[in-house]
Structure 1
Amino acid sequence: MLATVGGVNVTLGILLLLIAAHTRRQYSGVGTQSFIACMVGLGVWTAAGGVNDIISVYELGAPNGDGMSPAVESTPSIIAFGLQGPRIADWVLQTVVPVLYALFILAYTTRTDRRERLLLFVLVPFGLLYTGGSMSATLVSLVLDNLPGGLSEALLPFLQFAISISFFVTGSIVLLSLGQLWRTLHRYQHVSTRLTLGLAVIVPPVWFAERFFIALAETPLARAAIPVPFVILSTCAAWLAVTRFGLFEEIPAALAVARQDIVAEMPDAAITVTDGHAILDWNAAAADLFEREFNTVVGQDLATILPDTFDIKRLLAGGQTTCRLPGSDRVLEASSSRITDSDDRTLGHTLIFRDITDSRQNARRAEVLSRVLRHNIRNRADVATAHLRQFTDSPTPDTADKIATTVEEELSALRDLGRTAREIESVLQADKRTGNRSVEELIRHAIEEVQHAEVVNDGHEYAGGVSSVPVVIDTPPAETRANGEILIPVIRELVSNAVEHGGSAPEPHVSVRVKETSDTEGVDRWWIDVADSGAGISNHEVEVFEDAEEQPLQHGKGLGLWLVWWGVDRLGGEVSFDIDRGTTVTVELPGSLLSYE
């Protein structure tokens, strides 16, 4: 009867080897090599156990299935050890096969690198020390008995300790492999449940039967028979997985690699939802965009993170839509794609959210620049052309001088317009922050670039020329991290505008004052007020500017105020106007850009 059980095990081992051969002929790609290695290992393990059972029947092994028979013990040690080959193979493969199984599971369900594979193989020597049951007796009889008594007694506790450790290691490998399978089934719903269950019973039941159930058997026949049904289950599961369940057609590793290499690293926010709109996964960009950690939203309805006005049905139907984030000026463009199975059933959706705030702003700025430039160039060119035509009427010398002056002014204005356009481009491309720089030094630098402006200290009487406008600076001894390539043009344009509008007052003056509010953590906000005593900026200019988006019939006089608006916006600030008594333009900036010396 024991020989029959051994023959069944040998047959099952051959079938497993045939499955490995079939896989090698028919398939290639992710996981195939490790699956073949696992099948070969499992087949040899099963066949070795069957051969060992047959040997014990013919009394080449001990009558009780442990150790060696007297006939074998009387032979030389080398020959005796050779006759134990099937038993040794059984012992070695009890550790190697779980490692091969773990390698296959890792390769099949996720990406593995050399470090992970090396770690598993480093565990093999520890597992090989796990002998258990009859192999312990074999080691003692073949190794320890041939050593000096003291050395044998010293090695025995070490071997027992190593057996316990390696048993734990091998068992952990099996359990971790099952855990990875469960994680894959839970994470990727398109993966077949029957395929996952089939993979779960290829190695673990056989290993547990060999390690636990055999210990309950009292006879060699029982010990040989216990693993048989588990090996049959393993063989059937392996065959069905390869030929019926699409083992190498539904490869979860493809999704894992796609997530790691595409979704996880893409700059756009990506969210995966079920067909019922429950959030399954999202990448780092989505966490940053919606300012929510993944573990706080997984399983929640998609609507919980989107504004109420967002058309989710239209998006999931394949349409493209836009929305504005609640409490923010950021505009998102969203698109979706279906996740389907082999029968084209919808399992979920992948949503891509792209922040188009910058692109929209750039498009709007380009439109404004184009409109203002066309308007001003056309008007000034028309004025210059009209004056030049007056030369055909034989003008008087005085009239000719006026015509020449007007034409020169118009051409100069066009040059200034081009300079401002180029400066706007530089401002929009400049970094927001640089090294610390004195706020007063930066303001003085800006004022020096303004014609007819002269800096005076607050509280001192102005004694400058009649053609100059005094500019009072009042600023604390602070430094700013705001980029001077942005802030200097902004202040210069505001001071220039103040000098232009305030210069006609009986006692013209302009002031530039810096103030801030602080809390326990430092500066909260800070302001730069540029005020003049003139008639003020026209309401038309302020309306155009505060609207921040020119309409076709609205045109400012130039690009200076647009440079101010876009420059301050680039620094994360805001601009406001007070035109009741003169004009006061307030630039509000983040406190993080200001620090004290």
Structure 2
Amino acid sequence: MFPSWTVIGLLLTDVFLLTLAGIAWRFRTKPGAKLFGLLQILSAVWVGVTVLGLSQSPGSTRLRLWGVGTGLSLLVVVFWFGFILDYTGRNQWLSSWSFGLASLPLVSGAALYFVAPAASPIVDQVTQTTTPTGTVVEATIGPIGLVLAAYVYLVFLVGLGLVAKTVIEGSNLFVGQALAFGLGSMVTTVASFLVILEIPSAGYPLTQVGLGVQAVLWGYAVFGQQFLRVVPAVATIGERAVFDDLDNGVLVVEDDTTITRANPQARAYLGDDDLVGQSADLLLERMGVSALADLPTRFQHRGRTYQATASPITNWRGESVGHALAIQDVTPLVRRQQRLQVLNRILRHNVRNNMTVSLGIAERCQHHDDTDVASMGETLAERSRDMTTICEKAVEIDRTLNDPGPTQRVDLDTLVEDVVSPLAEQHSEATVRTAIEPETVETNAQVLSLVLREAVENALEHAGTAPEVTVAASRADGELDLIVRDDGPGIPRSEVEPIIAGEETALDHASSLGLWLVSWGTQSLGSEVDIDATRTGSEVTVSIPTGENRQETPDSGAITSNQSDVGT
């Protein structure tokens, strides 16, 4: 006898399900792939048992196969939910007691169907009927069966909700996959509901037929949407790993100040493993503030200093739902700042004052009758002046860059003239020209003046006995280029390269510190410096973002160099 079209469709469904299982095995290292493959195999077994049952005559064997098939359908739901958890990056739930508890009703129901398919708590009445499709079993659901059916639909709703949540919070990359999984699952869910309503007829295996449609849609996810190659679980697991492995402590605080999540570093910093569930008010009190709005702040705990900041967390509608509280151990930074403050005071007062005394003694030695003493006095005076200049530059760096002040509108030509004119007077042997068109720019005038003065001073120092220096300006792509040109051999490479690399180096004279000042100043302005030097001259270009294009850049390589064997 030729099998019915339903049986043929079910056999094709089995082939497709096993094909998907084989593909899943190839990608078994991907999150969700193993459970996806096991789900397809279990579904294929369920469909195979259904086909075998349809071929049987009415009797105990047919009833037993129906019980096995129905039990397998409940286990399919368990594996489906496990796959959804793994697929969405919630694989930690699979090994928790909560997943076992959620699966217990379905596993227990499956066991009952396996052992006693016609037991009265599950079904009230069972009838076997021979139809053109085969021998079907009509069952009137009992009390436990109704509870199981309702629970199955609840599990499907939760699973589909997790998929939707993952896509909404993630990337559009997974929308196609999510739609395929969602529609496929809905097909089998609706089909199972129609079976309860005895549509199209009592006992017809519509749910198993729906598995065929589901397999096609899931095949589209595999072949058309890169499922098993790219899954949202990787992003979810990565975000969780980043959160847990951050060097800073992070807490998630609800709007009602309840702490709902804390990473290991936060628990270590605060010495409390039970932060989750506590009120953040107690924590804020320890920090010395009364509300999250009072942050950022620094506080002491167990002899260390911490910086606490808060950032709002909003939902997809832009509404506040809580805050992320970040805690950073700034003890090394605070101690370093204290050391620098002490050293700065020493440099500002003690060293500079002592150099003034040394310079006075050296100048007296220069007028000594003994030529050797006079020569040593001249050398000492020169070194004392260099050291005094370094001290003055260090003080100026500290004063200007630590408190640069706000940006403002400045007349560029006036700023350049105010910087260049005193330098030209100090170097009467030099020819200093400016080529600046009158224009107004928004920048930090104090820092820009400092950077420009150092660039011009370096040009005057390295450009020979009668240097020619030109200061020009040009605009391009929202940036202002200030260009300092000279006709000398250029700044020695030995002074430029350490600053390009961002490495500390010995300061043999004030120009080295001046280059550091240029580097730090341009970073503060959000700009870059390019040094282009050949044997016929050098060119220092300071590219300054203006207005809305300005932002401070912490990059240590603010200076770049194009040198051709100069200054060696």
- TM-score band, normalised by shorter chain: 0.3 to 0.5
TM-score, length of structure 1 as denominator length: 0.41
What's the TM-score once normalised by structure 2's chain length?
A: 0.43
- Which entry has the higher C-alpha Rg, 1 or 2? 1
